[in-house]
A and B are shown apart, each in its own frame.
Chain A
Amino acid sequence: MKTLLKYAAALLAVAMALAPIYWLVTISLKREIDQFASPPLWLGFTPTFRHYAGIFVHDAFGRYFLNSVIVSTGSTMIAIGLGLPAAYGLVRFRWPRDWARGISFWILSNRMLPPIVTIVPLFLMLRQVRLLNSLIGLILADTGLNLPFVIWMMRGFIEDLPREIEEAALLDGESRMGVLLRIVLPLVRPGLAATAVFCLIVAWNEFLFALILSQTQTAMTVPVGIAGHVTQYEIQWGAMSAAGVVAMLPVLIFAAAAQRYFVRGLSLGAIKG
């Protein structure tokens, strides 16, 4: 009996977590009259794909999607390209006094900067180098978000590796860079992959930078496109919900891929669970 109650409670929790998402999906598939039906229609409505067609044809949503893909992948790759060597450098080299720790914590503190603090200087900086309203500018801004995370996470993963293998390679005459690329990298690949996924998710979901640093469709990303549908006079429910569904699918897929390292990523490496 007690077990039954427990399962019931657990299922209730799942339902409450998923119901709103389900609702979003149904709104995106409903005709307008059904969207506003009272009492609300949970099932049994005729679906239509008009809203999805609408956002891609009328609203340049395809452009936003492509922009988001470019910005997410670009910033992730740069963050990893810079962050992995940096993590290796911090962990596997000797540093005077407590430098390694100090630098690491300074790097971590960057992750805690509220975006609103850096947005105006960033705007002006990018304007100076004519990178405003450009995807490259956004990639730079998001790299700033992802780089500390990559360094911090990879620090943990590299620390976990036994030194012997690297030592052996060094004895054999391998260069440091060789050790990193040929020995360490394959061993941390799962952790690196998960870190990359986290970076992709962060960049994909990022809103404030994209909102301020973009001025036309050239640089607008998916979250900005969604916000644009929340207009003053009419709430375009069909478009808004279709956009929302399209926006969340990649993230859910990415997340499924990084499941194993969720706890580690969310706790910034503190909990290895």
Chain B
Amino acid sequence: MSAWQMTAVREMRKTRRIPPGLIWVAPALLVLATLSIYPLLYLIKVSLTDIHGFTIAHYARLFHDRSFGVAVGQTLLYASVALTLEFLLGLALALLVDSLARGRALIRVGILAPMLLPPVVAAVIWRLIYNPEFGVLNGMLRQLGFNTANLTWTSGRLTAMLSVILVDVWEWTPFFFLLLGAGLQAIPAEPIEAARVDGAGYWRTLMDVIMPLLKPTILLALLLRSMDLLRIFDQIFILTQGGPGSATETISLYIYRTAFRFSNFGYAAAMSFIALMITMLAARGLMRVMKLR
């Protein structure tokens, strides 16, 4: 037997029922349990209570609360548009940079910068840029001769969602760029060589050889990012606080408003629980993908 196995047997004999590793893990588990299990239990309790006692009224209200439906819809809209744009741009950039001979590292650093900023700072940057009177975006458009009178970006009902999504795309395309870039580098050279020898053109090689090999990475990146998109809060809070009206109000912002502006903690708790279920669905998908690795 190896030394390892001997140690293991020794330890198994010592404590038959309790796994020896538990002591190592226990403190961390305890802290996590306090910071997540207890709050969850509390959340469920609050969601089933109102001023009169036990009730399922909060959950019932969810079904015909138009604002909640709107918030869910807007979150899904935000998530899907942002995800698609970030993925496509990130993939294009990853392919582009991968094919460059020199200067890759420097270019990569440049492209990565937006992702590192605190989301609050990114939001501040774009608030300045989007300002209709004095912001640089409208300033440049005016220089090019456009009439910016109707382009109010974050204050416009139609443009607000677009403006907010754009900020997310600017900030998080580097995420896909980085992950997909790493995935590309991990692809062995032989299949690509083989395709070239067979006379396949660029697009052929891309679609038939590279993409299938990249699929696990793509899936991972998509799932990771969607989970973060579903619970988006920081940037939108700074950019529009959910406005104008509720044009950019996502689930997190609606819960925030319900809890802290209207002090409806019970209803906010019920919504949070539902939001948690939705996120957990995405998370399970993610974990299944990761188990395959």
Contact = CB atoms under 8 A, between A and B. Distances in A.
Q: From B4, B183, B224, name the one whose CB has the most chain A CB atoms within 10 angstroms.
A: B4
A204 interface: yes
Given A6-B99, A270-B290, A86 B46 contact: no
B160 interface: no
A23 B20 contact: no
Interface of A: 3, 6-7, 9-11, 13-14, 16-18, 20-21, 23-24, 27, 35-36, 38-40, 82-83, 85-86, 88-90, 92-96, 99-100, 103, 105, 107-110, 112-122, 124-125, 140-141, 143-144, 147-148, 151, 163, 166-168, 170-171, 201, 204-205, 207-208, 212, 222-223, 226-227, 230, 235, 237, 240-241, 243-244, 247-248, 251-252, 255, 259, 262-263, 266-268, 270-271, 273
B213 interface: no
Given A89-B23, A207-B233, A267-B221, A120 B182 contact: no
A117 B128 contact: no
A163 B6 CA distance: 14
Contacts of B114: 17, 20-21
Contacts of A95: 19, 21
B63 interface: no
A20 B21 CA distance: 49
Interface in B102-126: 103, 107, 109-114, 116-121, 124-126
A176 to B, nearest CB: 8
A93 B286 CA distance: 26
A125 B42 CA distance: 10
Given A113-B36, A143-B31, A271 B179 contact: yes
Given A17-B111, A170-B3, A205 B119 contact: yes
A141 B31 CA distance: 10
A272 to B, nearest CB: 8
B23 A247 contact: no
A117 B40 contact: yes
Contacts of B280: 109, 112
Interface string B123-140: 011111101011010011
Contacts of B279: 112-114
Q: Decide if the interface of chain B is mainly helix, strand, loop or mixed.
A: helix
A39 B238 contact: no
A105 B125 contact: no
B124 A241 contact: yes
B7 A170 contact: yes
Q: Decide if the interface of chain A is mainly helix, strand, loop or mixed.
A: helix
A6 B97 CA distance: 8
Contact of B35 (A144, A163, A243, A244): A144
B120 A205 contact: yes
A151 B252 contact: no
B143 interface: yes
Interface string B264-293: 010011001101100110110011011001
30 contacts: A10-B100, A23-B129, A24-B125, A24-B128, A36-B133, A36-B134, A38-B142, A86-B27, A107-B29, A113-B36, A113-B276, A117-B43, A118-B43, A121-B39, A166-B4, A170-B4, A207-B237, A208-B233, A208-B256, A230-B127, A240-B124, A247-B120, A248-B117, A251-B118, A252-B117, A259-B109, A266-B175, A267-B182, A267-B224, A268-B224
A174 to B, nearest CB: 10
Contacts of B136: 23, 40
B124 A24 contact: yes
A271 B182 contact: yes
